[in-house]
């Protein structure tokens, strides 16, 4: 049996309607959607900053900045998250299976938010470590609340790391745009990720990582303790490391359904997944029960019609229809 779910974001500003679509289409593995069209407070960065412990954030003209005291913007982000969780709790009263939430990972967060005096937190080793520790500590409290709300469900935490490859390769530009931040080497990246993973598992939830980057660092992510890797199948090479990682027990979540309006063939999408596994000699009996099908990325840029159609297509592919 395969499952289907979404990456996280949905179009529009109507949270109850978005969650209804999620429950109607991928109800065996629903997720609490993000609606960035409501503003930066509701996007992946704002939501994650709202759960940090010990680091206050505020929105500046050039983006989110931490260490500058609590501002009205971060209070708005916390309020929106609490409202969404209240509605999700109410609308999933009958649900007893797994449910997924999303947070931004420490590497992408460091590459996005700024230090008190400007430039990304990525620029400073101590700032990166402090950010990861704050995220891990905040997740413990956040997950205690989430698990209370969804007491009958296994909680899955998807850690979004779209910038991970750029961080590892030293391709994140500095504030001036004339240079790039130094590479974060794998041992440090492992430590930053591992602290977050341990906070998730320690809270009784399951850690999954998503990256729609090219050259996903499979060994690093598996080594940090993630139990599944979610990726865009069109952006990766079927190297042996994928087979080795799968054989070690890390599940694979296949992003195959386009995240914006596109004509698709469900049969062709099924065949793409079968071809990937067939490259390593794995038959359906090998991956049955360990496969999740998703859109290639979030659906914030899709039309409302396509958002529902894409999730329905993911479920159809999971059902091999």
Please report the DSSP string for 261-276 in residue order: S----HHHHHHHHHHH
Q: Which run of H or of E encompasses 91? A: helix 72-91
With CA atoms as reference, report the closest residue to 49 among 120, 131, 149, 123. Answer: 131
Q: Which two tokens stand for residue 36?
A: 């960035």
Report pLDDT digits (tens) over 135-173.
999 999 999 999 999 998 999 999 999 999 999 998 988
Report the range of poorest mean pLDDT among 85-89, 204-208, 266-270: 266-270
Residue whose pair of structure tokens reads 């794995």 in the numeric block: 282
- Is the pLDDT score of 69 beyond 80? no
**Looking at residue 168, what DSSP letter applies?**
H
Q: Is the distance from CB of 2 to CB of 293 less than 8 angstroms?
A: yes
Bridge partners, residue 89, by sequence = none
**Looking at residue 9, what DSSP letter applies?**
B
| Structure confidence at residue 61 (pLDDT) | 82
Q: Which run of H or of E encompasses 119? A: none
With CA atoms as reference, report the closest residue to 134 among 37, 47, 50, 257. Answer: 50
Q: At what angle do helices 125-149 and 72-91 cross, to 10 degrees?
A: 30
Cut 0.85: pTM above it: yes
From the number of C-beta atoms within 10 Å of its C-beta (0-12, 13-18, 19+), residue 18 rates as buried
């Amino acid at each position: 049996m395969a499952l289907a779910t979404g990456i996280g974001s949905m179009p529009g500003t109507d949270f109850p309607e978005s969650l209804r679509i999620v429950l109607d289409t991928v109800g065996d593995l629903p997720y609490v959607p993000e609606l960035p069209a409501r503003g930066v407070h509701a996007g992946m960065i704002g939501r994650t900053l709202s759960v940090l412990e010990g680091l206050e954030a505020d929105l500046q003209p050039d983006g989110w900045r931490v260490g500058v005291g609590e501002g009205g913007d971060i209070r708005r982000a916390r309020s929106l998250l609490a409202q969404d969780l209240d509605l999700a709790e109410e609308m999933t009263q009958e649900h007893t299976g797994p449910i997924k939430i999303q947070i931004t990972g420490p590497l992408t967060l460091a590459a996005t938010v700024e230090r008190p005096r400007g430039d990304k937190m990525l620029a400073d080793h101590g700032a990166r470590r402090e950010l990861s520790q704050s995220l891990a500590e905040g997740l413990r409290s956040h997950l205690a609340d989430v698990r209370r709300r969804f007491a009958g469900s296994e909680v899955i935490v998807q850690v979004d790391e779209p910038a991970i490859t750029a961080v590892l390769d030293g391709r994140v530009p500095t504030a001036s745009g004339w240079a790039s931040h130094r590479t974060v080497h794998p041992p440090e990246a492992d430590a930053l990720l591992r602290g977050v993973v341990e906070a998730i598992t320690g809270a009784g939830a399951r850690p999954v990582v998503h990256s729609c980057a090219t050259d996903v660092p499979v060994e690093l992510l598996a080594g940090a303790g993630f139990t599944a890797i979610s990726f865009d199948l069109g952006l990766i090479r079927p190297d042996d490391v994928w087979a080795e990682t799968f054989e070690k027990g890390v599940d694979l979540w296949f992003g195959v359904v386009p995240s914006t309006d596109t004509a698709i063939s469900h049969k062709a999408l099924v065949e793409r997944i079968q071809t990937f596994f067939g490259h390593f000699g794995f038959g359906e009996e090998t991956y049955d029960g360990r496969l999740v099908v998703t859109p290639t990325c979030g659906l914030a840029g899709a039309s409302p019609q396509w958002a529902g159609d894409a999730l329905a297509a993911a479920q159809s592919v999971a059902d091999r229809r």
